[in-house]
Amino acid sequence: MDAFAVSTGVVALGEMGDKTQLLALLLAARYRAPRAIIAGIFVATLANHAAASALGAWLTRVLDPTWLRWALGASFIAVAVWMLIPDRVDEDQADRVPGHLGVFWLTTVAFFLAEMGDKTQIATVMLAARYDALVTVTAGTTLGMMIANVPVVVLGDKVAAKVPMRLVHGVAALIFALLGSLTLLGVGPLPGAQEPPAVPTSP
């Protein structure tokens, strides 16, 4: 499976109903500044997921490939279960940032902090380690976050209310479970594994 397509798809699905999407909805309702909020979400997500992808890529360099494969496989399955647990966001979370910031910086800081330890951040670490593709995974997960959050910011809870969250989360959980199973079975390139050197052929 293509790293960019998988990263985009699973994060877009996993973000539906996630606490960061709920935060985006709360910010949009409170400040009525969609452009600033969307820009803040983009900057926060790009920074957060670039760091997460860098961590995932680093893990492929320092961990034994066999241990990494088992750890990633188990983690993907754990996130699959986590996807089925609904998130909540505190009503005052949008105000938990220092100083008198503009809407853009308030969104950037609030979104960055809310994403720390979130399932989509953990998924980004694992995807970067699974595919050993820092830039591709960062681009895909960032796009997935924007696909899930931009319509909510622009159109409000009318969009969120029409999305069958259980079905969406079920599909996301199924994809993560599949990724975990494939990783445990060693299907596809093993994370951190070195390709065997090419054997020269006689002319």
- Residue pair 114/25 in contact by the 8 Å Cβ criterion: no
The reply to whether 3 falls in a domain is no
The whole-number pLDDT of residue 157 equals 61
The reply to whether 125 falls in a domain is yes
CA proximity to 108, closest of 153, 52, 43, 18: 43
The reply to whether 172 falls in a domain is yes
Instruction: Give the structural domain span for 55.
Output: 11-92+100-185
CA proximity to 9, closest of 151, 120, 89, 88: 120
Give the number of domains in the chain: 1
Angle, CA of 61, 144 and 122, to the nearest 5°: 40
Exposed e or buried b per residue across 124-151, where buried means at least 16 C-beta atoms within 10 angstroms of its C-beta: bbbbbbbbbbbebbbbbbbbbbbbbbbb
DSSP state of 88: -
Residue type, 169: H
* Chain-centroid distance, C-alpha 9: 10
- Residue pair 150/27 in contact by the 8 Å Cβ criterion: no
What distances in angstroms separate CA 157 from CA 16, 89, 146, 150, one per listed residue? 12, 15, 16, 12
Residue-by-residue pLDDT tens, the chain, 203 positions:
588 998 998 888 888 877 788 888 888 878 888 899 999 999 999 999 999 999 888 888 877 777 777 777 787 787 778 667 765 655 555 555 544 468 898 889 888 888 887 888 888 888 888 887 889 999 999 999 999 999 988 887 665 556 566 776 677 678 778 777 877 777 655 555 444 444 445 45
Report, in angstroms and rounded to the nearest whole number, the Rg of the chain calculated over CA atoms: 18
The reply to whether 203 falls in a domain is no
The reply to whether 106 falls in a domain is yes
Residue 147: φ, ψ to 5°: -60, -40
What distances in angstroms separate CA 49 from CA 42, 119, 148, one per listed residue? 10, 12, 15
The reply to whether 6 falls in a domain is no
The reply to whether 169 falls in a domain is yes
Taking the C-alpha atoms of residue 43 and residue 166, their distance in angstroms, rounded to an integer, is 29
Question: Which residues lie below 8 Å from residue 105, measured CB to CB, with a gap of 6+?
Answer: 40, 97
The reply to whether 68 falls in a domain is yes
